Amino acid sequence: MYLQVDRWSDNIAVIDDSGEKYKYGDIVDFSKCFGKWIPERRLIFILCKNCFATIAAHIACIDNHIVPLMISANMDVELLKGLIDLYKPMYIWCPDESKDKLDSVLCNSEDVAGQYGYLLIKLKNDNCDMYEDLAMLLTTSGTTGSPKLIRHSYFNLYSNAENVANVFGFSEQDRALVDLKLHYTMGLNVACSNLYCGATIILTEHNPSEKEWWNIFREYKPTNMCGVPYSYEILKQMRFFRKDHEELKIIAQGGGKLSDELFGIVAEYAVKYGKRFFATFGTSETTARLAYLNPDKALEKIGSIGKAIPCGEMLLVDEFGNYITDAEAEGELVYRGPNVTLGYAHKREDLAKKDERNGEYFTGDIARRDAEGYYYVQGRKGRFLKVYGYRVGLDECETILKNRYESDFACTGTDERLAIYHTNDVEDIEIRKFMSEKTGIQISAFYSERIDFIPRNENGKINYGELLKRKME
Amino acid sequence: MDNLEKYINAFVEAFEADKNSVASFKREDTEQWDSIGHMKLMAALEDKFEIEFEPEEMIEFVSYEQGISILKNKGINL
Same domain membership, residue A224 and residue A114: no
What region, left, alpha or beta, does residue A287 occupy, with left being phi > 0 and alpha being psi -120 to 50 degrees?
A: left
Name which of A208, A209, A442 is nearest B32 (Cβ-Cβ).
Answer: A442
Pairing of strands A118-123, A109-115: antiparallel
**Which residues in chain A have Cβ-Cβ distances shorter than 8 Å to B43?**
237
Same domain membership, residue A410 and residue A374: no
**Which residues in chain B have Cβ-Cβ distances shorter than 8 Å to A207?**
35
Report which of residues A231 and A133 the model is more confident about. A133
Q: Does B65 touch chain A (CB under 8 A)?
A: no
Same domain membership, residue A166 and residue A81: no
pLDDT of residue A84: 95
Gyration radius (Cα) of chain B, Å: 11
pLDDT of residue A391: 83
Q: What is the CATH number of the domain that holds A274?
A: 3.40.50.12780
User: Is residue A49 scored above 90 in pLDDT?
Assistant: yes
pLDDT of residue A387: 86
- Residue B7: φ, ψ to 5°: -60, -50
Name which of B36, B55, B58 is nearest A444 (Cβ-Cβ).
Answer: B36
- The model's pLDDT over A430-442, given as tens digits with 9 standing for 90+, comes to 999 999 998 888 8
Three-state DSSP at B51 gives coil
pLDDT of residue A229: 87
pLDDT of residue A60: 98
Distance in angstroms (rounded) separating the CA atoms of residues A445 and A64? 40
User: Is residue A203 scored above 90 in pLDDT?
Assistant: yes
Closest chain B residue to the Cα of A433, Cα to Cα: B32
Name which of A211, A237, A444 is nearest B16 (Cβ-Cβ).
Answer: A444
Which of the four pLDDT bands, split at 50, 70 and 90, describes residue A29? very high
Give domain status of residue B18, yes or no.
yes
Give a three-class secondary structure readout of A423-447.
CCCCCHHHHHHHHHHHHCCCHHHEE
Q: What is the CATH number of the domain that holds B67?
A: 1.10.1200.10
User: Is residue A460 scored above 80 in pLDDT?
Assistant: no
Give domain status of residue A68, yes or no.
yes
Instruction: Give the dihedral sign, CA B37/B40/B41/B42.
Output: positive
- CB count, 10 Å around CB of A433? 16
- Under DSSP, the state recorded for A134 is E
Same domain membership, residue A326 and residue A285: yes
The whole domain housing A267 covers 155-339+358-378
- Show which of residues 445-464 on chain A sit within 8 Å of chain B, judged by CB atoms: 445
Give domain status of residue B21, yes or no.
yes
Give domain status of residue A142, yes or no.
no
Mean pLDDT of A260-272: 95
Q: Does B39 touch chain A (CB under 8 A)?
A: yes
Which of the four pLDDT bands, split at 50, 70 and 90, describes residue A383? confident
pLDDT of residue A380: 78
Three-state DSSP at A32 gives helix
Residue of A4, A1, A105, A13 lying closest to A54 (CA atoms)? A13
Distance in angstroms (rounded) separating the CA atoms of residues A351 and A332? 28
Interface test with B, best of A180, A206, A209 (most B CBs within 10 A): A209
Same domain membership, residue A61 and residue A176: no
Work out the minimum CA distance from B64 to partner chain A, whole angstroms. Answer: 16
Which of the four pLDDT bands, split at 50, 70 and 90, describes residue A421? very high
Pairing of strands A118-123, A91-95: antiparallel
- Indicate whether this complex's ipTM tops 0.85: yes
Total domains in the fold of chain A: 3
Same domain membership, residue A244 and residue A301: yes
User: Cβ contact (<8 Å) for B55 and A238?
Assistant: yes
Q: Hey, what amino acid is at A170?
A: F
Same domain membership, residue A325 and residue A195: yes
User: Cβ contact (<8 Å) for B35 and A237?
Assistant: no
Give domain status of residue A76, yes or no.
yes
Three-state DSSP at A463 gives coil
Which of the four pLDDT bands, split at 50, 70 and 90, describes residue A30? very high
- The model's pLDDT over A113-159, given as tens digits with 9 standing for 90+, comes to 999 999 999 999 999 999 999 999 999 876 777 899 999 999 999 99
Mean pLDDT of A423-433: 93
pTM (2 d.p.) = 0.88
Closest chain B residue to the Cα of A389, Cα to Cα: B36
- Residue B10: φ, ψ to 5°: -60, -40
Give domain status of residue B14, yes or no.
yes
Distance in angstroms (rounded) separating the CA atoms of residues B61 and B41? 10
pLDDT of residue A41: 97
Work out the minimum CA distance from A213 to partner chain B, whole angstroms. Answer: 10
A384 - beta bridge partners? A393
User: Cβ contact (<8 Å) for A234 and B39?
Assistant: yes
**Which residues in chain B have Cβ-Cβ distances shorter than 8 Å to A444?**
16, 36-37, 40
Distance in angstroms (rounded) separating the CA atoms of residues B37 and B25? 12
pLDDT of residue A416: 86
Q: Which residues contact A199 (CB under 8 A, 6 or more apart)?
A: A170, A171, A172, A173, A174, A175, A176
Total domains in the fold of chain B: 1
Mean pLDDT of A290-310: 96
User: Is residue A192 scored above 80 in pLDDT?
Assistant: yes
- The model's pLDDT over A343-353, given as tens digits with 9 standing for 90+, comes to 999 999 999 99
Task: Give me the torsion for CA of A271, A273, A274, A277, rounded to 10°.
Answer: -60
- Residue A98: φ, ψ to 5°: -90, -5
Mean pLDDT of A82-86: 95
Three-state DSSP at A25 gives helix
Which of the four pLDDT bands, split at 50, 70 and 90, describes residue A307? very high
Give domain status of residue B78, yes or no.
no
What region, left, alpha or beta, does residue A41 occupy, with left being phi > 0 and alpha being psi -120 to 50 degrees?
A: left
pLDDT of residue A384: 85
Same domain membership, residue A324 and residue A405: no
pLDDT of residue B78: 87
Give domain status of residue A295, yes or no.
yes
User: Is residue A415 scored above 90 in pLDDT?
Assistant: no
- Under DSSP, the state recorded for A98 is G
Closest chain B residue to the Cα of A416, Cα to Cα: B36
User: Is residue A390 scored above 90 in pLDDT?
Assistant: no
Same domain membership, residue A367 and residue A250: yes
* H or E, element range at A292: strand A291-292
- The model's pLDDT over B69-78, given as tens digits with 9 standing for 90+, comes to 999 999 999 8
The whole domain housing B30 covers 3-73
Mean pLDDT of A166-183: 96
Residues of chain B with pLDDT under 70: none
Residues in chain B: 78
User: Is residue A188 scored above 80 in pLDDT?
Assistant: yes
CA A12 to chain centre: 25
Inter-residue long-range contacts of A78-84, CB under 8 Å, 24+ positions, other chains counted: A78/A105, A78/A145, A79/A144, A79/A145, A79/A438, A80/A105, A80/A145, A81/A105, A82/A145, A82/A147, A83/A45, A83/A145, A83/A147, A84/A45, A84/A123
Which of the four pLDDT bands, split at 50, 70 and 90, describes residue A335? very high
Pairing of strands A250-253, A224-227: parallel
User: Is residue A181 scored above 80 in pLDDT?
Assistant: yes
Give domain status of residue A2, yes or no.
no
